[in-house]
Amino acid sequence: MYFYLLFAKSFFMRSFHSRWRGLFLFSLGIAISTTFIMQWLATDFWLDDKKFSILGLELFYSKRQLIDVFTQIKQPAKIALNYQLIFDFAFMTGIYPAIASFCMLVRENVRSRSYRNLLFALAMLQPVAWAFDITENIFLLAWMEKPEIGDDFSTYHNIVAAKWLIAVSGTLCAIILRIAKQAKKRHNRI
């Protein structure tokens, strides 16, 4: 009887692992392919003779700089930015499920209950980061059409900061715990 319970447990665990692994690989493929497209579109991000970036729009530009970009942007750059934001929606369908599934894959191999809970929480927070990213793109698309930023700028920056914090925390935590687990396995073999 004990043998059958072990077999059933290993069968379902492998199935669980293969499902998360399949989601991870599929989602990562979407994220990587859309990244190439967005990088290609970013080559047209010029404002007169100065280059601007999507990361600058998200994190580093002041309210004045955002207004300058959206009021002075010319047609090739405006079209490229519009497509960039549209492809970012496709990128989101890949990156957040990839981060969540990676957290869950690493969680399977971690023994510490607190680390397992942390990875689970970070995986479950990825839809929140996804919602924040969608909101961010909606702000940018609206400002591109009508560059009147107003008091929404601080809300926008808080949403962007929260999105990055959640996504980067999930990714780094899973990578660090994965590397630590691999290092421990190598050390135990020696």
- 99-124 pLDDT tens trace: 999 999 999 999 999 999 999 999 99
Q: Which residues are within 8 A (CB) of 12 and not within 5 positions of it... i.e. 6 or more apart?
A: none
> In terms of C-beta density within 10 A (0-12 exposed, 13-18 middle, 19 or more buried), how is residue 77 classed?
buried
Question: Could you give the number of structural domains in the chain?
Answer: 1
Per-residue confidence (pLDDT) for residue 16, from 0 to 100: 76
In a domain, 5, yes or no: no
Residue with tokens 């004045």: 64
CA distances from 57 to 9, 109, 152, 156, 160 (A): 49, 38, 14, 11, 10
Q: Which domain holds residue 74?
A: 16-189
2 belongs to a structural domain? no
Q: Is residue 105 part of a domain?
A: yes
Task: Identify the weakest region by mean pLDDT among 17-21, 23-27, 163-167, 185-189.
Answer: 185-189
